Amino acid sequence: MTGPRDVAAVTAPEGAGAAGLPLLRAEGLVRHFAVRRHLFSRAGAVVRAVDGVDLTVMPGETLGIVGESGCGKSTLGRLLLRLIEPTAGRVFFQGEDLGLLDASALRARRRSLQIIFQDPYSSLNPTMTVASILAEPLRLHGLAQSGAAVHARVADLLRTVGLSPDHARRYPHEFSGGQRQRIGIARALAVEPRLIVCDEAVSALDVSVQAQVINLMMDLQRRFGLAYVFIAHDLAVVRHIATRVAVMYLGRIVEIGDKEAIFGNSRHPYTRALLDAVPRSSPQASASAGGAVRRVLLEGDVPNPSAPPSGCRFHTRCPYVQDRCRVEEPVLASTAATGDHRAACHFAEEIARSRGTLPVAPQEPDDPVLASRLLRLQRAFVQDVSFNEVPP
């Protein structure tokens, strides 16, 4: 095949894929936005979209980033690719500081760093055929020059994402949402990336298509050794695809760890509240998740990011708040027992031990349609079949 390199055929560039070395590393990443009331007014408040984030992404892994709308996760995704400049902090890719690259070096480096957006329609040029959309990055990066080579590579990419080479002649509006997202994935794959940021990449899709696209992405990851930063608000999807999970709140990571630790033994009250907000498919599922009768209540809206609360930013909504929380900001820390599982909470250990004695919340979601959607999605994942084949 002449398409993206098979993982076995990949020759890792220097510094990438070596045992224990991260593919991407962010240090103290900050992005503030000045807010103007109108076009000609002076900048007033400063929105702290991302406010001090450290993270690493290892080769071939999927780091899920979750949090409520407005927590800064999409801004973080763009900072990692240097699509927007940070106010402070640095991003290293394969050990190289992206902030030190000039425009032409950055353009060359972008070949390894791709992004898939939420809306597959608006991210594809409606006036270009699929062939032109896929040929553009190939020519830009010198991966195929002659007409025949480009044609063969486009056909190969389309087959790789489960489409037909005949689709190359069509325009984006002639495809369904799921097919358009497959085209977006093919465009990202065209330049043989090592890391793809998926910004709510399946959120706009019907749940019946979500499982298919997710399974395709996981298959591509196995074949080509890709790393993903998977930004999503749907915890069921993140649970399926992620290797590790970072939970964001008001511009900061409040908990990070392996998927099993986050979903099975969360230590931060915000994470537990997010998990408890996911509709459980049955009382048995609730019980197996350790929340049959007791759940963390998450009340109120996310505070204004231009004036985050003092101390712990979550203290205005936390059911465990104490005086110390209002004045002292907790650091993202682990213990000898938790290893790489870190949480930013003064009382993480006490709260972890308190499981089963939490405030009581309604046991099941009020929305049976939502619960039914989740159950079918989970079955589709588990059985690895099309959602449409799963009985309601």
Residue 267 touching ligand SF4 (CB under 6 A): no
Residue 249 touching ligand SF4 (CB under 6 A): no
Residue 67 touching ligand SF4 (CB under 6 A): no
Smallest separation, CB 270 to ligand SF4 (Å)? 6
Q: How far out from the chain centre does Cα 276 lie?
A: 20
Q: Which of 253, 275, 345, 390 binds ligand SF4 (CB under 6 A)?
A: 345
Site for ligand SF4 in 151-170 (CB under 6 A): none
- CA 274 to CA 111: how far, in whole Å? 35
Residue 252 touching ligand SF4 (CB under 6 A): no
- CA 382 to CA 385: how far, in whole Å? 8
Q: Which is nearer to ligand SF4, 65 or 325 (CB)?
A: 325
x-or-dash string of contact with ligand SF4, 286-325, rule CB under 6 A:
--------------------------x-xx--x-xx---x
- CA 170 to CA 89: how far, in whole Å? 43
CA angle 390, 184, 199 (to 5 degrees): 80
Residue 346 touching ligand SF4 (CB under 6 A): yes
Smallest separation, CB 2 to ligand SF4 (Å)? 52
Classify residue 20 as left (phi > 0), alpha (psi -120 to 50) or beta: left
From 21-29, 91-99, 342-350, 354-362, span contacting ligand SF4 (CB under 6 A): 342-350
How many residues of this chain bind ligand SF4 (CB under 6 A)?
12
- CA 211 to CA 9: how far, in whole Å? 28
Site for ligand SF4 in 113-132 (CB under 6 A): none
Say which residues have a Cβ less than 8 Å from residue 66's Cβ, sequence separation at least 6.
73, 231, 232, 233, 235, 238, 245, 246, 247, 248, 274
From 8-16, 52-60, 345-353, 357-365, span contacting ligand SF4 (CB under 6 A): 345-353
Q: Which is nearer to ligand SF4, 199 or 276 (CB)?
A: 276
Smallest separation, CB 326 to ligand SF4 (Å)? 8
Q: Which is nearer to ligand SF4, 120 or 308 (CB)?
A: 308
Q: Which is nearer to ligand SF4, 93 or 347 (CB)?
A: 347
Smallest separation, CB 275 to ligand SF4 (Å)? 15
- CA 276 to CA 149: how far, in whole Å? 52
Residues 180 and 205 sit within 8 Å (Cβ to Cβ): no
CA angle 212, 213, 216 (to 5 degrees): 90
> Can you name the residues that pair with 91 across neighbouring β-strands?
26
Which strand (E) or helix (H) includes residue 153?
Answer: helix 147-160
From 69-77, 130-138, 158-166, 344-352, span contacting ligand SF4 (CB under 6 A): 344-352
Q: Which is nearer to ligand SF4, 161 or 318 (CB)?
A: 318
For 274, counting Cβ atoms within 10 Å of its Cβ (0-12 exposed, 13-18 middle, 19+ buried), the class is: buried
x-or-dash string of contact with ligand SF4, 19-58, rule CB under 6 A:
----------------------------------------
Residue 238 touching ligand SF4 (CB under 6 A): no
Q: Which of 3, 184, 305, 330 binds ligand SF4 (CB under 6 A)?
A: 330
Smallest separation, CB 278 to ligand SF4 (Å)? 19
Q: Which is nearer to ligand SF4, 205 or 318 (CB)?
A: 318
Pairing type for strands 88-93 and 62-66 reads unpaired
Which structure tokens are listed for 176?
């369904």
Secondary structure (DSSP) of 171-198: -GGGS-HHHHHHHHHHHHHTT--SEEEE
Binding site for ligand SF4 (CB under 6 A): 269, 312, 314-315, 318, 320-321, 325, 330, 345-347
